[in-house]
Chains A and B, each alone.
Chain A
Amino acid sequence: MLQKVLIANRGEIAVRVIRACHELGLRTVAIFSEADRHAMHVYYADEAYSVGQAQARDSYLNIEKILNVARVAEVDAVHPGYGFLAENHEFAQACIDAGLTFIGPMPHAIAIMGDKVVARSAMRKAGVPVVPGTEGESSLRDEEIVAIAAKIGFPLLIKSAAGGGGKGMRRANDQSFMINALSEARRESEAAFGDGSVYLEKLIQGARHIEFQIMADNHGNVIHLGERECSIQRRHQKLLEEAPSVVLSDDIDLRTSMGEVACLAAKSVDYVNAGTVEFLLDEDRNYYFLEMNTRLQVEHPVTEIVTGVDIVKEQIRIARNRRLSRKQHEIELKGWAIECRINAEDSYRDFIPSIGTINTNIVPTGPGVRVDTGVYPGYTISPHYDSMISKVICSGKTRGEALLRMRRALEEYRIVGVKTTIPFHQKLLNSHRFMAGQFNTSFVDDDFSLGDRSDTDDEIAAVFAALAAHQYRQQAAHVVQRGERDTSNWKWVGRWERMHR
């Protein structure tokens, strides 16, 4: 029986999983690091246990400590969320060995898809088209790689076998770039993943990033929930996702074909539970397997909205050994959904993280708006984890409606205390190429500019602040003269002095 679930994660995704569990009547156990005692997932869970220091390797990545909590709290299952240990096959195995249900795929599937080189060759064998590149082993020597590079053709990408998130990735435009780029990629990969193995992939120019959501149960049923378009990326980090894709919504045959191939990819590794098969789609509508993410994705809500499937609840259902609640022909994509990732970053200063306490957090509401977040007023963004504050998901009957709704929602959103990527999204939503759906994975890096903040807006901000300061000053002076404030005069004087320290 599955009655109590430990969520081996933090932030918005831990909250998301807790919500699904509570809807299913399951008890929830949160874990938290020293830095997260006041995180929302700790408050929302039925039980919460500390797993150590702020540094992720001492807490959220510490398998032993997490399993110890699982034992003490007597849980039946573990949900890994995304990031941290979600794609660590040793963790999945350790959960199974401890007699727990791991809400995710089997360790062997995680292991195959985790090594990008192994995954490529497994996919090729299964008949899934992969991006042209090095075949076979990842332990090639530099000379061998340089020789193969000429055959693949330039420009190409050098990628880390263990990689992800753009780390250990280098572009080589011709032979002369190879040696330098190779050593840089190896060094970065070694530093990030403890493994300097690299492989080559032809650079598909003008490609879109299209991914398919897969659901598979323990009874051999594998379906897909349609695609997500994730081409809006900055330095390989996704910023905005939508479902469906502009390209596939007027090419149903292509959707059918890609969906079938995605299911084939999953079946070839005996995949169970939720997963995502990522493809590159070139300008001639050829598609290539990129990688498979063996976990719940950040952007899963857009698929939930257009299909009506609660993916997290379905994950738990699968873990309980039930059959999928829907068959492929029952999956219909209705309407449109867009997700904006709101990060604590300064859009105007190279997306540098912004640390601080969120004083005000007024979240957009109204028709067609969903916000998944793990922050609240008074919450402090710490430097220990990623900078995501929330995900705003807007839906509509058409892409146009979803887009206008997103624009409206971002206008309503009020976060004071840290800088956010809201201005970036606002500019993006106003760009003609985005509106027309004409973009690919290099759009944000190469063809999109936030522009300079206008001087008028700086001036307005300056006037606002000066007027507020003036009013404050007058009030404070007033209070010292006459005691007609209802709050203590000492408090006012204290505030006044603090302002002028």
Chain B
Amino acid sequence: MKYLATVNETTFEVVINEDSYVTVDGQRHEIDFRAVGNGPLYSLLIGGNSYEGHIEGTDDGWQVLHKGDLYMVEIEDERSQRLMKLGGAGIATKGDYYLKAPMPGLVVSVPVKEGQEISQGDILVVLESMKMQNELKSPHDGTILRIQVNPEDTIQQDEVMLVLSPLDDQ
């Protein structure tokens, strides 16, 4: 079974066909993967190294706590990839970046305009939440396609605030 695991914007191809081997991006590793007790704690021995991970499934994907760091991993399997292709969901995957609100809050300012070219790290939206002003920055160079919020708007978590298209699309 082939899985695409996306974590921190990097996608790994993980192939699992037998119990004691995985192939990650074409590289085959010997593994021993065990649940520790009945809980969400797992032990992974891979190429002699021992790792401990705390894994929980959520509606949005898998959360893996590994060495104190929490990773959000999206898993697609072959079937969902096939469905995506069949369903023509490819339109959304052209590379447009949808800036979603990471938390509910109040839009303080939107220091960019539609059509504006921006560089990686530019501030797209300033969102006030949890007593702080949070600067949401652009993950890459691109052009602002659409802005869907205005200053003073109260927005919900995961609401799309702005759409960015990568430069090479232009």
Chain A residues packing against B (C-beta within 8 Å) = 344, 350, 352-355, 359-360, 383-387, 410-411, 413-420, 422-423, 426, 453, 455, 457-473, 498-501
Contacts and interface: CB of A to CB of B under 8 A. Distances in A.
A383 B132 CA distance: 10
B56 interface: yes
B61 interface: yes
Given A458-B7, A465-B5, A465-B7, A383 B103 contact: yes
Instruction: Give the residue among A344, A416, A468, A473 with the most B Cβ atoms within 10 A.
Output: A468
Contacts of A416: 40, 54, 56, 63, 65, 70
A84 B129 CA distance: 16
Given A457-B66, A466-B14, 18 more contacts: A354-B103, A355-B129, A385-B130, A410-B68, A415-B65, A416-B65, A426-B67, A458-B71, A461-B73, A463-B24, A464-B44, A467-B22, A470-B3, A471-B33, A472-B57, A498-B59, A499-B57, A501-B59
A19 to B, nearest CB: 25
B16 A461 contact: no
A415 B62 CA distance: 14
Nearest to A388: B130
Which 8 pairs across A and B sit closest by C-beta, in order of nearness? A465-B73, A462-B5, A461-B71, A466-B14, A465-B62, A355-B103, A462-B12, A464-B53
B68 A359 contact: no
A387 B58 CA distance: 22
A115 B142 CA distance: 46
Instruction: Give the residue among B46, B54, B68, B103 with the most A Cβ atoms within 10 A.
Output: B68
A423 B66 CA distance: 10
B15 to A, nearest CB: 9
B1 interface: yes
Contacts of B80: 500
19 contacts: A353-B129, A354-B103, A360-B40, A383-B129, A383-B130, A383-B157, A414-B54, A416-B70, A423-B69, A458-B8, A460-B51, A461-B7, A462-B6, A462-B12, A463-B24, A466-B75, A468-B57, A468-B64, A473-B1
B64 A417 contact: no
Contacts of A467: 14, 16, 22, 31, 33, 42, 44
A473 B105 CA distance: 37
Contacts of B130: 344, 353, 355, 383-387
Contact of B56 (A352, A359, A460): A359
B88 to A, nearest CB: 18
Contacts of A470: 1, 3, 16
Contacts of B134: 350, 352-353
A461 B53 contact: yes
A413 B65 CA distance: 10
A310 to B, nearest CB: 29
A419 B70 contact: yes
Nearest to B61: A465
B131 interface: yes
B129 A461 contact: no
Interface in B54-106: 54-59, 61-71, 73, 75, 77, 80, 102-105
Instruction: Give the residue among A352, A411, A413 with the most B Cβ atoms within 10 A.
Output: A352
Given A413-B68, A470-B3, A463 B14 contact: yes
Contacts of A386: 130-131
B55 A464 contact: yes
B137 interface: yes
A405 to B, nearest CB: 15
Contacts of B1: 470, 473
